[in-house]
Structure 1
Amino acid sequence: MTSSTDIELVTLDMAGTTVADDGLVERAFAAALPERTAADLEYVRATMGESKITVFRHLTGGDEDLAQEANRAFEDAYARLVDDGLCAPLPGAEDTLRRLRAQGRTVALTTGFGRDTQDRILRALGWTGLPDLVLCPADAGGRGRPHPDMVLTAALRAKVSAMSAVAVVGDTASDVRSGINAGAGLVAGVLTGAHGAEALRAAGAAHVLPGVSGLPALLDGEG
Structure 2
Amino acid sequence: MTHRTDMTHDIRLVVLDMAGTTVADGGLVERAFEAAAADLGVEPGTPGHAAKLAHVRATMGESKISVFRHLFGTEDLARRANTAFEKAYGELVDQGCIEQVPGAREAIEEIQQDGRTVVLTTGFARATQDAILGALGWRDLVPLTLCPADAGGRGRPFPDMVLEAFVRTKAADDVRQTAVVGDTSYDVLSGVRAGAGMVAGVLTGAHGEDAFRTSGATHVLTSVAELPAVLRGIG
Q: How does 1:80-159 map to 2 (within 5 A)?
A: 80-159=91-170
User: How far is 1:21 from its partner?
Assistant: 2.3
Is the 2:7–2:234 contact (alpha carbons within 8 Å) kept by the matching residues of 1?
A: no
Deviating 4+ runs (over 4 angstroms)? none
Match of 1:67 in 2: 78
User: How far is 1:38 from its partner?
Assistant: 1.3
**SS of equivalent to 1:208:** strand
User: How far is 1:22 from its partner?
Assistant: 1.0
- Tell me how large the CA RMSD over aligned residues is: 1.3
Q: How does 1:175-214 map to 2 (within 5 A)?
A: 175-214=187-226
Match of 2:174 in 1: 162
Question: Structure 2 length as normaliser, TM-score?
Answer: 0.92
User: How far is 1:39 from its partner?
Assistant: 1.2
CA distance in 1, matches of 2:160, 2:75: 22
User: How far is 1:52 from its partner?
Assistant: 0.3
Is 1:29 matched with 2:33?
Answer: yes
CA distance in 2, matches of 1:2, 1:196: 21
Is 1:44 matched with 2:49?
Answer: no
Is the 1:2–1:165 contact (alpha carbons within 8 Å) kept by the matching residues of 2?
A: no
Is the 1:109–1:131 contact (alpha carbons within 8 Å) kept by the matching residues of 2?
A: yes
User: How far is 1:49 from its partner?
Assistant: 0.4
Amino acid at match of 2:146: L
**SS of equivalent to 2:179:** strand
Count matched residues.
221
User: How far is 1:69 from its partner?
Assistant: 0.5
User: How far is 1:201 from its partner?
Assistant: 1.1
- Identity %, equivalent residues: 63
2:184 to 169, 172, 177: 172
Match of 2:8 in 1: 3
Is the 2:8–2:234 contact (alpha carbons within 8 Å) kept by the matching residues of 1?
A: no
1:18-49, CA deviations, whole angstroms, 9 ceiling, x for partnerless residues?
A: 00021101100111012152111111011100
Is the 2:159–2:194 contact (alpha carbons within 8 Å) kept by the matching residues of 1?
A: yes
Is the 2:199–2:219 contact (alpha carbons within 8 Å) kept by the matching residues of 1?
A: yes
Q: 5+ unaligned residues in a row in structure 2: which ranges? A: 1-5, 43-47
User: How far is 1:222 from its partner?
Assistant: 7.2
Q: 5+ unaligned residues in a row in structure 1: which ranges? A: none
Amino acid at match of 2:57: R
Question: Structure 1 length as normaliser, TM-score?
Answer: 0.96
CA distance in 2, matches of 1:146, 1:222: 26
Amino acid at match of 1:37: H
